Structure 1
Amino acid sequence: MTTEKNYKLPIILVSILIPVVVAILFTVKLKDLGFNVEPLSFLPPIYATINAITALLLIAALWAIKNKKPNLHEALMKVAILCSLLFLVMYVAYHMTSVNTYFGDANHNGILEETEKSAVGGIRMLYFFILMSHIALSIIVIPLVLITYVRALSQRFDQHRKIAKIAFPIWLYVAITGVLVYIMIAPYYA
């Protein structure tokens, strides 16, 4: 229990700071601050792949624990956490160096044809639903993952399992929808 108490304040701080810092950094462009940087436009497919790997790691970790392989489960979860951190760093780096991309942006001619507008309109609603749920749940999952991890460190596996049943599907959804968001917006990257 003392391990959990020791981590309570850091979990709260990290759970608040990550979304706030990401939101702030998302609006900051390094060029606006006088840095001459090239856009890191190669990053979106890489961090989408990292999201896919995270999803696979989570599924493999679930399989490992259900098959009584706790050491493998622990290793897979640590790598999944590392992948999520790596994603976060790349995501922020991309947005600090690149212009924002919007779903349904004009095609290479600068205009959307009427048939494209109607097709984009329907898919755009789906895209925004996936994006908004992805963002909201990515904020919610931070403390859930941290608490779950600390409970495992504390060897309070009964409590670990209880919160993991909530954290796992949310984290898996966030990882999978991260890939879907990339696939849906990829045609609109500059």
Structure 2
Amino acid sequence: MNQDTTQHAHTKRNYKPAIIIITIIVNGIVILLSGLPGVENFNAFDITILPMMNAIFNSFTFLFLVGALAAILKKNVTVHRRFIYAAFTSTTLFLVTYVAYHFLSESTPYGGSGFMAGLYYFILITHIVLAAIIVPLALTSVARAWNMENERHRKIARWTMPIWLYVSITGVIVYLMISPYY
């Protein structure tokens, strides 16, 4: 065992069960909500503000991830960690507003046609698939960092970072493309 592994062997935690449970819950809720009709006659507030908040939180996530990437390229682990925690926070806030909107409202159909419809659906489908995949990837990445499994963290982060960047920026693009139809 190398020195890094020896020093931290007693503090390693098995995060796999939590990662699996969180992934199933998050992806399950999103799948469940996609099939619900929404709350009828909800008028406590204008719920179309929620998709805008989703886009804002996705924008922050994207910026925090870019900051995290820049920090780790400069080998500044402390700043990298802070940006990653900020990205998790903004992603969590996104998830809350996303779930609230899709619980309260039925899905909004895209109103465009032709090339723009094809582009929209391509971005939307890749966004949805990769959003489901990013949940366990991001959680595994952070768990490996917490366990000081630096080499394993780097290996998975090479996949996690670009996918998470893609998911966060395409969330904004999807919002910009569908917002005229709310």
Does the pair score TM above 0.5?
yes
Alignment-derived partner of residue 26 in structure 1: 34
Paired residue for 1:176?
169
Number of the residue aligned with 2:143: 150
**One-letter amino acid matched to 1:90:** T
TM-score, normalization by structure 1: 0.84
SS at match of 2:108: coil
Aligned to 1:101: 108
Aligned partner (choices 23, 30, 50) of residue 57 of structure 2:
50
Q: Partner of 2:181 in structure 1?
A: 188
Tell me how large the CA RMSD over aligned residues is.
2.0
SS in 1 for 2:15: helix
TM value normalised by structure 2: 0.87
Distance (Å, rounded) in 1 between the aligned partners of 2:100 and 2:12: 32
Task: Assess if the C-alpha contact under 8 Å between 1:27 and 1:96 holds in 2.
Answer: no
The alpha-carbon deviation at position 174 of structure 1 amounts to: 0.2
Supply the AA of the counterpart residue of 1:98: S
- In structure 1, how many angstroms separate the alpha carbons of the residues matched to 2:61 and 2:11? 26
Identical positions, percent? 43
Deviation at 1:23, TM superposition (A): 1.5
Counterpart of 2:118? 125
Q: Which runs of 5+ in 2 are unaligned?
A: 1-8
- The equivalent of 2:4 in structure 1 is none
Give deviations 1:151-176, integer Å, cap 9, x for gaps: 10001111111100010000000001
Tell me if the contact between 2:144 and 2:150 (Cα under 8 Å) persists in the aligned partners.
yes
- Check conservation: 1:31, 1:37, Cα contact below 8 A: no
Matched, 1:15 2:8: no
- The secondary structure found in structure 2 opposite 1:46 is helix
Shift of the 30–123 alpha-carbon distance from structure 1 to 2, 3 Å rule, reads: closer
1:56-67 residue pairs with structure 2 within 5 A? Answer: 56-67=63-74
By how many angstroms is 1:78 displaced? 0.4
Determine if the alignment matches structure 1 residue 88 to structure 2 residue 82: no
Cα deviation digits, residues 21-74 of structure 1 (max 9, x gap): 122133335635x97744511111121011111111101101111112111110
Q: 2:37 and 2:175 mapped to 1: Cα distance?
A: 21
Match of 1:76 in 2: 83
Asked whether the equivalents of residues 54 and 98 of structure 2 are also in contact (C-alpha less than 8 Å), the reply is yes
